[in-house]
Structure 1
Amino acid sequence: MAKRVFLIVLDSVGAGAAPDADRFGDSGCDTLGTCVRSGKLQVPTLAELGLYQIEGTSFQKTKEETIGCYMKLQEQSAGKDTTVGHWEIAGVISPKPLPVYPEGFPDEVIREFEKETGRGVLCNRPYSGTEVIRDYGREHLKTGKLIVYTSADSVFQIAAHEEKVPLEELYADCRIARKIMTGEHGVGRVIARPFVGEYPDFTRTVNRHDFSVEPPKETLLDALKKAGKSVIGVGKIHDIFAGRGITETFPNKGNTRNMEQTLELMDKEFEGLCFVNLVDFDMIYGHRNDIDGYVNALNEVDPKIRQLMGKMRREDVLILTADHGCDPGFPGTDHTREYVPCLCFGEHLKKGCGLGIRHSYADIAATIADIFNISFQGDGKSFWSDITENVDDSYRYLL
């Protein structure tokens, strides 16, 4: 039988402050706790998989019957952003933080960027993505200068109006920035941020594109591809890994469409990994401190997960997790240093199995490598034998 793993990252859905949260100024953060305390969270599928049974969370409830395996994972990488979070899920712990620019990018970087693109630069400061186009959009349309900004994350972001700077030119400018931002300036992502409309009603479009730095060493994706398995990316996955290890990609179109795409892929014959990112929690709601929006997004995804479970084949495995936190009820608009939940489901997985707290997100990669019986462990430790029912060698081959 073909083995398939569906790994879904609920982007930024953290499970409470990590032990080192104070180092990041995040003591007290709790993304899921904030959502639960809103009184509006309705996620019966996640609950049945064991979300509320995870050890040591603010939202842990009295033991109830569950059908999944559940745990929380602690990040070991020196950061709390999308890039290092996904790399760790794929088996690579990043011991050094990616560079950030709280005072904007150095003059020499901006001068080289202007020279290579032939366009001037506006802003060059940390800024909210929606506010920066409101504050600089009119000057951009008048002068043709590119809006360059950053955030608390390791990102070089370029905003441009689609009628002033065609998309392909904006993407080319991002590739120029990607070549410049290497070495000591090797930011995690260069991001195209196109927008449309007229002042004051500028709006960002779905034509965003990320140009990521490559992972520093082999990931689970590389190992699976080398072993001849399919590695299908849905959402931002291709961008996060700079295309490395990906055999097929479906670009981000928002949570709803990404889940619909995943449901469609369940009807496809393949052996390997379907790796999905649902970014709306983080991008649209977490960074904007929109608690109600965040909760509604979770409520909307929950029945899609139920549909996905209903289409699973005997040998399929589903893993749900996150890459960091972004507590919409926490002061500021940055990511938050949190544990992340990990929920697993499959016909031959144990029911109601709690594994407590795991050392690293990288345990997911080691577990998936174990499922496919490939020689990759990365920086994690597999929990496959802990969640399977009496798996002998002959069954492991079939599964």
Structure 2
Amino acid sequence: MSPTAATKVLVIGYVWPEPRSSAASGHLMQILQVFLGQGWDITFSSPANPGEHKEDLSVLGIRECPIELNNSSFDRFIAELAPDIVLFDQFMMEEQFGWRVEQQCPGALRVLETSDLQSLRHARHQRLKERLKASDDNDDFSALFAPAAEQEFAGMADTDQARREIAALYRCDLSLMISEFEIELLVEQFGLPPALLHWCPLMPEHMPHSYVPFSERAHFLSIGNFRHAPNWDAVLWMKNAVWPLIRQQLPGAQLHIYGAYTPPKAAALHNPAQGFQVMNWAEDALAVMSAARICLAPLRFGAGIKGKLLDAMLCGTPSVTTPVGAEAMHGDAPWPGAVAESASAIAAAAVRLYQDQALWSQTQEQGRQLLLARYRQQVHGPALIERLQHCRTNLAQLRRDNFTGGMLRHHHHKSTQYMAQWIEAKNRLV
């Protein structure tokens, strides 16, 4: 490659990006925008079928190339492409294609975009299920939010999900982590070397200059892809516990719930008489967020950081959430709204913010300051490029230092290779 040739990047997506449907896709698109800003040559591939709200990447100058699981056609494809960097979107793609990438392009930098630590989210979901079985109390869930990192580790360590996910982190040269809490958990509890991790939070391209004023806003809003389990659980908790308490104090209030891929079970909750309105997918999430006075996000489990809450800050909309919702999003700064651990406390905070214009304006400004302090693409974009370039320059030493990752690649890739080849041979006989 000549010194002036553009860096070639191959992204292997778990799904085709839908930035208007999920924060995970939005974060991936932000990363792609940073790469495009460097003039890099980008190819996006996925074994998934295109979704209803798929982004047209070709408009941005990104090639779209479908690929197949358990098919040696990928070997020929990547060998011809010869990328300098391969970005796996979620650890399952590294499991499926990592051995092929290493076999065909051993000098390519292998990067994992985690979106969130899925094994942490699954462990927290299991803890919620156990709590719901143990008690009929639908108000106070403070015990869910209390565990320290050691307890989170204990809930994850014996699970297959954690073993698979953390092995993938080891096998890659660098993993992009959206949450500082998850970096701390991985380093201090699971023993991952910090050199394998890079903090890359949500990084919107543009910051707000003005907001829709308090007097021109009305109603409460909740938004989130219904295929994401924490969002559906939050809708159920609002329906059964939070929203009735808000309506007691604000009888005319309305809650508008938006989300991609609304299932029949969610549509069945639609009840205009109770002010509980399931609105389906929002064509423009920022427009509906800007029209709302309060964003409700009562998440009882989850991981990563929450795109809906960043969107609320971008729109100047105070939000009411739980410690899980606010986790790793505001550092030592005040939350731009309220954080509570029970349905009654969430409802009380939401009603107060809805009615108190001075408090509402104060929290709106806190959100603006938080965006400027933690989420500027002008800061995180260059930091990401610098880290990637450092890894490419020092790749041989980084891999020598990561003996555990090399050992895991050796054993995992051999077994995965033989299984994939067996499946491919079997498929030819069908």
Band of TM-score, shorter chain: under 0.3
TM-score scaled to structure 2, two decimals?
A: 0.24
The structure carrying a bigger strand percent of its residues is 1
Higher relative contact order (CA 8 A, sep 6+): 1
